[in-house]
């Protein structure tokens, strides 16, 4: 879908003095390649060869700074190190380093490279930071944009730059919710038909390094989902029923909760809105405004909060609360 971009950087080094130990040396001619991931352009792999075995490290940063680094796991002469969540459109300085088995440090000359711009269609933001020490100033916000012209997922930093972006697979699919995966290295987002007519719902998982790109079909998928501690994916879905209502002959939709163990497994409906909630006569809000869903080894138990003790004490994982009226139920995780 996107061409793999390779930028060859020639990093010159000088000869290392024989007999020195635990020194910073320059010496051999280093040639490093920079490869942007085909799927995630903010993931970059640095590769080069050294004449002496050692553990490779790449130091890099914006505006000429070398304030970030990534280190290889093992000693080698063929080096490949990857950095993720770089800033779209950012100009970076990098320096390749090898710490030899003897303890010497061989540094190559610093070079610059530029990360591709964020997709032109994605919504741009100006971020105003009122508290310089806040998490927004020093971290990231994962967001999704929903619109008729463009729908995207983005990881936005306090500088207003995107450090990860992903779009929908087709023009007629809209993205609603994006969440970080429980593995801490991937983003999960849901999508559905933009006119909510055709059943095209699904969940996409894309890793920050671009190595994972999977889709899980969400039958009658609605607007929200969660990933449970065991990796099970659960989502809200339309529940089509013919409801007899005064002067109304219509098909009413309400959200059941559906889950699938994996992208390959068959989904299972494990809770539906009780039929009595859909009667024409309004129900007292106190009786239906708060329900608790908990996952147990034997399944899920749904009880009103007033009788929450009926859920076994062995329940593990986070609690999800269903709140609202019979016309709308929202899944809130805590």
Instruction: Examine the domain organization and report whether 17 and 103 are in the same domain.
Output: yes
CA dihedral 303, 307, 309, 312 (to 10 degrees): -30
Q: What burial class does residue 307 get, using C-beta atoms within 10 Å of its C-beta: 0-12 exposed, 13-18 middle, 19+ buried?
A: exposed
pLDDT of 95 over the 90 cut: yes
pLDDT band at 198 (very low <50, low <70, confident <90, very high): confident
Give 262's contacts (C-beta < 8 A, 6+ positions apart): 216, 231
pTM value surpassing 0.75: no
135 within some domain: no
For residues 81 and 58, give the distance between their C-alpha atoms in angstroms, rounded to a whole number.
Answer: 7
Q: Would you say how long the chain is, in residues?
A: 334
For residues 152 and 174, give the distance between their C-alpha atoms in angstroms, rounded to a whole number.
Answer: 8
CATH number of the domain that residue 61 is part of: 2.60.40.10
Instruction: Examine the domain organization and report whether 97 and 221 are in the same domain.
Output: no
> So what's the pLDDT on residue 154?
95
Instruction: Examine the domain organization and report whether 301 and 216 are in the same domain.
Output: yes
253 within some domain: yes
Instruction: Examine the domain organization and report whether 195 and 285 are in the same domain.
Output: yes
Total structural domains within the chain? 2
Instruction: Examine the domain organization and report whether 174 and 67 are in the same domain.
Output: no
List the structure tokens of 278. Answer: 């859909």
Please indicate whether residue 288 or residue 136 has the higher confidence score (pLDDT). 136
Q: What burial class does residue 56 get, using C-beta atoms within 10 Å of its C-beta: 0-12 exposed, 13-18 middle, 19+ buried?
A: buried
For residues 258 and 225, give the distance between their C-alpha atoms in angstroms, rounded to a whole number.
Answer: 9
> So what's the pLDDT on residue 150?
80
pLDDT of 185 over the 70 cut: yes
> So what's the pLDDT on residue 21?
40
137 within some domain: no
pLDDT band at 116 (very low <50, low <70, confident <90, very high): very high
Instruction: Examine the domain organization and report whether 173 and 311 are in the same domain.
Output: yes
Instruction: Examine the domain organization and report whether 220 and 293 are in the same domain.
Output: yes
Q: State the DSSP string of 271-297.
A: E---GGGGSSSPPPHHHHSEEEEEEET
> So what's the pLDDT on residue 146?
80
Instruction: Examine the domain organization and report whether 91 and 188 are in the same domain.
Output: no
> So what's the pLDDT on residue 76?
95
Instruction: Examine the domain organization and report whether 195 and 320 are in the same domain.
Output: yes
Reduced DSSP (H G I as helix, E B as strand, rest coil) percent helix, strand, coil of the chain, to 5: 5, 50, 45
Instruction: Examine the domain organization and report whether 203 and 66 are in the same domain.
Output: no
61 within some domain: yes
Please indicate whether residue 256 or residue 105 has the higher confidence score (pLDDT). 105
16 within some domain: yes
* Tally: H helices and E strands in the chain: 2, 25
For 62, the domain range is 5-114
156 within some domain: no
Instruction: Examine the domain organization and report whether 99 and 211 are in the same domain.
Output: no
217 within some domain: yes
157 within some domain: no
Largest distance between two CA atoms of the chain: 95
Instruction: Examine the domain organization and report whether 182 and 264 are in the same domain.
Output: yes
């Amino acid at each position: 879908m996107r061409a793999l971009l390779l930028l060859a950087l020639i990093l010159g080094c000088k000869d290392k003095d024989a007999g020195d130990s635990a020194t910073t040396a320059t010496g051999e001619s280093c040639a490093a390649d920079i490869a942007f991931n085909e799927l995630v352009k903010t993931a970059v792999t640095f590769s080069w060869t050294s004449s002496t075995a050692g553990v490779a490290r790449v130091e890099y940063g914006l505006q000429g700074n070398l304030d970030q680094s990534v280190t290889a796991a093992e000693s080698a002469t063929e080096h490949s190190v990857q950095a993720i969540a770089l800033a779209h459109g950012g100009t970076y300085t990098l320096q390749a380093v090898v710490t030899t088995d003897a303890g010497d440090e061989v540094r190559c000359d610093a070079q610059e490279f530029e990360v591709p711009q964020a997709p032109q269609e994605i919504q741009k933001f100006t971020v105003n930071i009122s508290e310089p020490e806040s998490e927004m100033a020093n971290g990231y916000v994962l967001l999704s944009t929903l619109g008729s012209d463009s729908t995207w997922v983005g990881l936005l930093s306090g500088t207003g730059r995107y450090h990860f972006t992903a779009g929908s697979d087709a023009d007629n699919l809209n993205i609603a919710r994006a969440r970080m995966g429980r593995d801490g290295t991937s983003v999960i987002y849901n999508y559905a038909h933009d006119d909510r007519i055709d059943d095209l719902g699904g969940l996409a998982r894309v890793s920050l390094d671009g190595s994972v790109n999977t889709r899980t079909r969400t039958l009658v998928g609605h607007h929200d989902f969660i990933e449970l501690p065991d990796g099970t994916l659960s989502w809200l879905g339309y529940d089509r029923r013919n409801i007899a209502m005064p002067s109304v002959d219509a098909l009413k939709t309400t959200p059941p909760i559906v889950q699938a163990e994996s992208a390959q497994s068959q989904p299972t409906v494990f809770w539906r809105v009780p039929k009595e909630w859909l009667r024409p006569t309004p129900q007292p809000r106190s009786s239906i405004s708060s329900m608790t869903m908990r996952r147990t080894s034997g399944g899920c138990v749904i009880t009103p909060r007033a009788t929450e003790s009926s859920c076994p004490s062995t329940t593990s994982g986070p609690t999800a609360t269903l709140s609202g009226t019979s016309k709308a139920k929202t899944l809130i995780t805590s």
